[in-house]
Amino acid sequence: MLRRGIMESWPLFLGMLLLMISNGLLVTLLTLRATDLGFTQTEIAFMQAAYPLAALFGCLVAPKIVARVGHIRSFGALASLCSTAALIHMVTADPWSWAAMRALAGFCFPGLYVVAESWLNGRADNRTRAGLLSIYFITQTGGVALGQLLLGIPDRDGNLLFVIVSVLISLSLVPMLLSADRGQAFEAPARLSVRELFGLSPLGLSVSFLNGLSQGAFYVGLGLFGVAIGLPASQVGLLVAAGTLGGVLGQFPLGALSDRIDRRLVIAGAAGVALIACLAVWMTATRLADGPWLYAAVALVGAFTLPLYSLGVAHTNDRLAPAQMVAASGGLVLVMNVGIVLGPPAGGLAITYLGAPALFACLALLQGATALLAVYRLVSGEKRAEETGTALPVGHAATAVASRLNPEAREVVPQD
């Protein structure tokens, strides 16, 4: 059944892959080009933070847009704006206009994810939901990693890669729109307030916020770190790709382990290993920048840092009724995005004032805080949930709509 679901959904996965390749490429490309143009590290960090800041509003507004005008028109309009934003970077050269284009893309991309996730949900049944969600996650994170490899393409005048980003976004329209043979009904998911969510699962909410900080610092800061230690553009891309692929490889074994033992213990252990890896990179990065050790260490950091959000979501779901899971996901996505907004400035300021390796000192502090919170909740006397679900992979780019693909979730539409 899963194979049939994949065959029916391949246009969606192909379109999403093209989107994520373009998005992953653009994040690192902007850091490299901004450095060439003389932007300071602080300006680059705040420029990049405009994307998740606008994505906060996009996550709230995008479902309403899709519900009002439909999937096809929403996807076409939002993808066209993203493609245009990528090209405008070619004709401007100041942090303010680049930040404005990052904000435009940040507002639009959540709408594209909403469309993809809702279409995918419409093609899934309870036997294929978990598998399709896993493939969706691999497509998203794998696309980000593949985008980094394009940085090795020779680009003499600095414009070719921006054109490639725009072309990839435009091409993503083709399979996505051709797969929509009919309009689908869509209703924006309900939302639990942050206060209610904290009351239900303080650890899950805290892990979402701290991991959002970590992911924002990790994805943007790695590019700044690579430039600061003198790596060429292609190797900066490989560094980001190594961290991203590490997150993919760590996601499934950590999730499976958390289904067998207390998730709080797995969260504490994963954060503890990430803490040690971050400290190792912090102390040795500048001496070992020319060897493969650095890439392996960054992959290890990604393997134990990036999956923490999924573990936090699973821990929260263990304490919810099935009808609360979709609404809770909206709150967790919102809190994670607040963290992602603050992550790039935190990483950029650390690199600016304390040196390139300080990025990993910043990440180590965040992993240490995560581990301590998990240990505190473990020893505070709170019992482990008697009935636990399955930890499913959730990427940083997913919206609350993706939670509908969780076979354990059941959405209840509130009555007026």
Structural domains in the chain, sorted by start: 2-405 (1.20.1250.20)
CA-CA-CA-CA torsion sign (148, 370, 106, 20): positive
Tell whether the model's pLDDT for residue 327 goes beyond 80. Answer: no
Mean pLDDT throughout 165-182?
80
Distance in angstroms (rounded) separating the CA atoms of residues 285 and 49: 25
> What would the two tokens of residue 397 be?
């780019």
Digit-coded pLDDT (tens) for 351-365 = 999 999 999 999 999
- Mean pLDDT is lowest, of 245-254, 270-279, 290-299, for 290-299
Look up the pTM and report it: 0.89
> Would you call 260 exposed, middle or buried from its count of C-beta atoms within 10 A (0-12, 13-18, 19+)?
exposed
Mean pLDDT throughout 77-81?
91
**pLDDT score recorded for residue 180:** 58
Tell whether the model's pLDDT for residue 18 goes beyond 60. Answer: yes
Q: What is the mean pLDDT of the chain?
A: 86
Say which residues have a Cβ less than 8 Å from residue 182's Cβ, sequence separation at least 6. Answer: none
pLDDT band at 102 (very low <50, low <70, confident <90, very high): very high
Tell whether the model's pLDDT for residue 68 goes beyond 50. Answer: yes
**pLDDT score recorded for residue 187:** 60
**pLDDT score recorded for residue 416:** 41
pLDDT band at 160 (very low <50, low <70, confident <90, very high): very high
**pLDDT score recorded for residue 144:** 93
**pLDDT score recorded for residue 415:** 44
pLDDT band at 292 (very low <50, low <70, confident <90, very high): confident
**DSSP state letters, 164-199:** HHHHHHHHHHHHHHHT--S-----PPP---HHHHHH
> Would you call 347 exposed, middle or buried from its count of C-beta atoms within 10 A (0-12, 13-18, 19+)?
buried
CB 159 within 8 Å of CB 9: no
**pLDDT score recorded for residue 233:** 87
pLDDT band at 173 (very low <50, low <70, confident <90, very high): confident
**pLDDT score recorded for residue 81:** 93
Residue 25 φ then ψ, to 5°: -60, -45
Percent of the chain with pLDDT over 70: 90
Mean pLDDT throughout 210-216?
95
pLDDT band at 414 (very low <50, low <70, confident <90, very high): very low
CB 382 within 8 Å of CB 297: no
Mean pLDDT throughout 109-121?
82
Mean pLDDT throughout 265-277?
96
**pLDDT score recorded for residue 185:** 60
Residue 137 φ then ψ, to 5°: -65, -45
- Mean pLDDT is lowest, of 150-159, 178-187, 255-264, 271-280, for 178-187
